[in-house]
Amino acid sequence: MPEWALEIPSAPVHQEQSNQLVRPFTAQQLIEFGKELLEQFIKRVVLGLAGFFIPGMPSFEQLVAWADDLREKLADVPILGDLIEAITGVEDGDLNDLGTFFLNVRTFLASINFLDPSFNLGAALTQFASLIVPLNIFSIPADVQDSINGALGDLQDALDGSYSGSGPIFLAVQALAEAWLKATDPLNAANLFGRIGMPQLAGGVSLSDLTTATSNLLDPFTAESVPSSDGWSFNSGQDAAQVVADGSTKGLWLKSGAIKVEEGQPVNTTVKVKYSGISSGAGQTIRYVLETYESEDGSGPMVPVVVGSITNPTGTVSSPVTLGDTSWDIPVGVQSVRPLLEVDELVTAGTVYWVNTPVFRKTLLGVLSDGLPAALQKPLDDLQATWDKFKGGVGGTVDDIEDALNDAGQAIRDALANALGHAGTGHTSANLLSYFQAIPQTVVSGLGDLNTLTNQIRDILAGLVVTPINSTVQAIKDWFTGLTGKTANLTTVGLFDAAKLSNITGTISQSLVTGLTGSLGDLQTTLNQIGDIFNNAVVTPINSVVQSVKDWWNEWFGGGSSNAIPLSQKGAANGVAPLDSSSLIPAQYIPGGVGGGGEPTDHILFTLAGNQSIPSGSATALTGWQQVGSVTATFDDGTNTRFTLPKAGWWDIQSQVAWASSATGKRQSAVVRTLTSGSAIPATSGEDAADHPAWPVRNKIRDTQEVASRGSLATTDKFSIQVYQNSGAALNVVSGYPDGTYVLATYLGERKFEAFSEENVNRTNQPVPDGVAGCWVTLGGGSGGGGGGQKNTPAAYGGGGGGGGAKIFRTWIPVSLLGPTYSVTRGTYGLPGVGGTTGNGGTGGNGGASTFTSGSVSMSAGGGAGGTGGSTSATVPGGAGGTASVSGTTATTAAGTAGGSGGSSASAGVNNTAGGGAGGGGGGTSSGSVSPGKGGDSIAAAGTAAAAANQAGANPAAGGGGGNSAGIAAGRNGGDGCGAGGGGGGAGGTSFGGDGGDGGRGYTLIEWK
């Protein structure tokens, strides 16, 4: 099967014709199709060669006529003879000589089959270069190489039309190139230096196979190359292949066949894309894919590799985005690839533009990575440098080698002869051979009489008296003399004599002592028995030593190394638990568990005492639960409907509700958790009876619940199982375990505590969270309201400002001081005193205290007192500041400061520099001659005549300003904070007095750690 038929793209390569033939074709139709195809092919060949086609005349006859005229046309080319002479070397050569020349070339290359489908010209050139370069056959003299380089340069200039010399051959080549190799001539230059189209060589040879330049293996998009079907077309305005998305996969191959690649040969392949009006789902919806094959021709299994993609495209992108990889490594085993543009089915609308020009380039490998010229030039340069070093200068020819070797050889021979004691020059190789066979002792520095030395050593070993001639002989004599005393007690065969053992000290081997028996033999047996004990063999000890070792081994290891636990450790504290007769751990060795049967620790199994009838159309709680397990739940009444789990922490709750058979309606079940302030349904299960025609419906639930006092949860929450069915009649819930209705609650363990904070949250006997180390407590009291202004004629007095709240700074309370519960109260603000309507103004309300209590710890940041209402008195006092109290622990505190006085002259609220709330300002008079007092400053904010701002976090607030006498206005509000600022006093008035300002609210922060 041809390679184009292995994979078919989503869009047809050619447009379908309206006059489609009826299939299958007959044999005669197939023959006629073949004739027509051949006629059209030859017609295009004639058009390409001759430039015209004569209608009505068979195309093959026109091709023959063109070939017959070609020889005559070539003979008329003026420079053809010169070109043939340049190629063949035959003066006045003709086409016959040119044919003879190329015949010889074909004979030389006869062993190479260029028609072999597997022939790779690039690989052949690489192999040829790797063969030729090491031979150094191009190592010619520098002057000859310069001549060749100059000629090649002139030839290159002639081909590109820039030759300016006078050489007849190069002038002829330049004229021929001008006549034949322009872009508009029959032999386009691109066919020589770009892609060489040579079908007989099984594919073209790219210029990138010979130089470092790389060619693009992909063609640009054109109206002819892009099919107009399945949404694809060529958009000339965008210079792109466009496809209109419709929710189906769109694909377009960029190559009709596969592109051969090699492992380790990086590929640069990219394509640009933009789009408009796109709607798509999630995923890689626009992608550039390389289909990879483990065959050279693209046959066999295909593995797609995404080299670039756009995920979740939407809308319009006008600037092209480049997809691909400029250095994509070929995966192991891949031998060919096929580029594919793809828009998947997740793109439901819009147009995608693949902009010109797609790129696919391969880099060169191995010895040709820098190009063929560089590979050939490097050994030439190396050889020339070596030759220059040998000659001692630049230049020279091969003829100089023999003289250099002869000159060096004679000098070497004379030097060797002189060193061996033979004077003069002109010594031959034969002379040197005889000299080496008789080297005189005098020419070797330091060589003594070796014969005398050898004789003295021999005499020393024989026991003779020797006077050493040098230090070497003396050292040998001393060594041998020292040995004689060490061997005096040996027998003639080199063994110890037992009778002389009294002279021996240290450790000796038994094999070296003759006649030694008895205890040493027993010692060997002892050691062997100890080894057998360690290997669990049966041993009968031969002595008390072996018996002691055996007893110790049995006591410690239980009779063998495979039980390497002391018997005394079984069942002991910090030891190991023994196994019972069933190879299980007895229950008494498992903390809090039942043991022995594999049941989980701390679990409860709830089952129904019998079937229960459930009415149709209403949710019903199951009742009458029975329980078994390692721990016991608590039911809240005698119906055993709701239960409380016994331990705080996480529980795994599995529920199954089995229904009696019925083919109609739905079945539902739910785990319901009744909270202190309502109910929650954490998990449900629902099934349609119609979906279970063969067996009755079972609702199954599995959920994890935390039993804890946290947020809206509490350890006292109650659990129940509710069911629902709407079959149209009552339907039983079936009891039984494990096939019936049951609940299995398994304790998973205590929840790991996570720190949290409660800011301005009131609590009453709230359980202390499980697992806490303690808590930080910060409190600020509320502040008092301002006193109301007096109503009087002709002059009325304003009320006093409210007092600021106290503060307890952040204090750590360890869990050891906390009780099981805790309570928190946020201090309220003091209400304003009402302005007088017939006389004196009302007194402002007191601010509330912020408190924390747990166990023996009690903490209170008191609220400020309300300001006194305006009266006939010239001075009415502001409210006092709040005070703090702490018991059961220690803490840093700050009292609030008093409000400013009202009356005939208003005063400002008292500033607070210790960290508590500041007092509110006193109210002004109705006469307008007395201004109201401003609010007091806190360490976080400055007081003014206006209302005080609320403070964030633990910052104390400023006091509010007093009422404005000119407007008979109310006092300004104090700010919320830790502690709060007091409210300002109301102004006096002739018609009615102004109300005092509100006090500020207190603050609480409990940080659980």
Tally of CB atoms within 10 A around 1008: 20
On the question of pLDDT at 898 being above 90, the answer is yes
At 628 the pLDDT is 94
At 145 the pLDDT is 58
**Which of 7-11, 239-243, 941-945 ranks highest by mean pLDDT?**
239-243
For the ranges 211-225, 267-281, 873-887, 978-992, which has the lowest average pLDDT? Answer: 978-992
3-class secondary structure, 884: strand
At 1 the pLDDT is 40
For the ranges 233-242, 415-424, 735-744, which has the lowest average pLDDT? Answer: 415-424
Nearest to 964 by CA among 789, 791, 827: 789
Name the residue with higher pLDDT: 656 or 128: 656
Tally of CB atoms within 10 A around 732: 18
Q: What is the pLDDT of residues 552-576, one digit of tens each?
A: 887 776 655 555 566 666 777 767 7
At 637 the pLDDT is 87
- Residues 6+ positions from 961 with CB-CB distance below 8 Å: 920, 921, 932, 933, 934, 935, 943, 944, 945, 946, 947, 971, 972, 984, 997
CB 968 within 8 A of CB 841: no
CA distance 418 to 411: 11
Tell me the whole-structure pTM to 2 decimals. Answer: 0.36
On the question of pLDDT at 928 being above 70, the answer is no
Mean pLDDT of 695-709: 82
Mean pLDDT of 7-23: 46
Same fold, 232-363 and 603-749: yes
As given in the structure block, the two tokens for residue 169 are 């051959």
At 146 the pLDDT is 64
At 903 the pLDDT is 84
Q: What is the pLDDT of residues 496-546, one digit of tens each?
A: 666 666 665 666 665 555 555 555 557 888 888 888 888 878 888 989 888
Distance between start and end Cα atoms, the chain: 76
State the sign of the Cα–Cα–Cα–Cα dihedral 417, 418, 422, 427: positive
Q: What does the DSSP 8-state code read for residue 10?
A: S
For the ranges 424-428, 586-590, 616-620, 960-964, which has the lowest average pLDDT? Answer: 586-590
At 181 the pLDDT is 53
At 870 the pLDDT is 87
Mean pLDDT of 702-724: 82
Question: Which band of pLDDT confidence, cut at 50, 70 and 90, is reported for residue 425?
Answer: confident
Mean pLDDT of 272-293: 91
Share of the chain above pLDDT 90, in %: 33
Q: What is the pLDDT of residues 462-486, one digit of tens each?
A: 878 889 888 888 988 888 787 766 6
Q: Could you please report the per-residue DSSP string of 375-409? A: HHHHHHHHHHHHHHHHHTSS---TTHHHHHHHHHH
For the ranges 14-23, 158-167, 220-229, 399-408, which has the lowest average pLDDT? Answer: 14-23
CB 33 within 8 A of CB 252: no
Helix (H) or strand (E) holding 271: strand 267-280
3-state SS, one letter per residue, for 617-685: CCCEECCCEEEEECCCCEECCCCCCCEECCCCEEEEEEEEEEECCCCCCEEEEEEEEEECCEEEEEEEE
CB 805 within 8 A of CB 760: no
Mean pLDDT of 627-638: 93
At 486 the pLDDT is 64
Question: Which band of pLDDT confidence, cut at 50, 70 and 90, is reported for residue 53?
Answer: confident
For the ranges 183-197, 726-740, 824-838, which has the lowest average pLDDT? Answer: 183-197
As given in the structure block, the two tokens for residue 436 are 């080496």
At 12 the pLDDT is 45
Question: Which band of pLDDT confidence, cut at 50, 70 and 90, is reported for residue 197?
Answer: very low
Q: One-letter amino acid identity for 857?
A: V
Tally of CB atoms within 10 A around 911: 19
- Name the average pLDDT for the chain: 78
Q: What is the pLDDT of residues 242-257, one digit of tens each?
A: 999 999 999 999 887 8
Question: Which band of pLDDT confidence, cut at 50, 70 and 90, is reported for residue 593?
Answer: very low
CA distance 629 to 704: 19
3-state helix, strand, coil in the chain (%, to 5): 25, 25, 50
On the question of pLDDT at 774 being above 60, the answer is yes
For the ranges 368-382, 654-668, 870-884, 917-931, which has the lowest average pLDDT? Answer: 368-382
At 202 the pLDDT is 34
For the ranges 39-48, 77-86, 530-539, 542-551, which has the lowest average pLDDT? Answer: 77-86
| Domain residue ranges in the chain | 232-363, 450-486, 603-749
Task: Provide the CATH topology of domain 603-749.
Answer: Jelly Rolls (2.60.120)
On the question of pLDDT at 775 being above 90, the answer is yes
- Residues 6+ positions from 412 with CB-CB distance below 8 Å: none
Q: What is the pLDDT of residues 578-592, one digit of tens each?
A: 777 767 777 666 654
Question: Which band of pLDDT confidence, cut at 50, 70 and 90, is reported for residue 98?
Answer: low
Beta-bridged to residue 704, according to DSSP, are: 652
At 94 the pLDDT is 67
Q: Which residue has the tokens 């018609």?
A: 991
Q: What is the pLDDT of residues 942-989, one digit of tens each?
A: 988 888 888 888 788 887 877 776 555 676 887 787 766 667 777 777
Name the residue with higher pLDDT: 993 or 235: 235
Q: What does the DSSP 8-state code read for residue 500?
A: G
Per CATH, is 232-363 categorized as 2.60.120? yes
Question: Which band of pLDDT confidence, cut at 50, 70 and 90, is reported for residue 122?
Answer: low
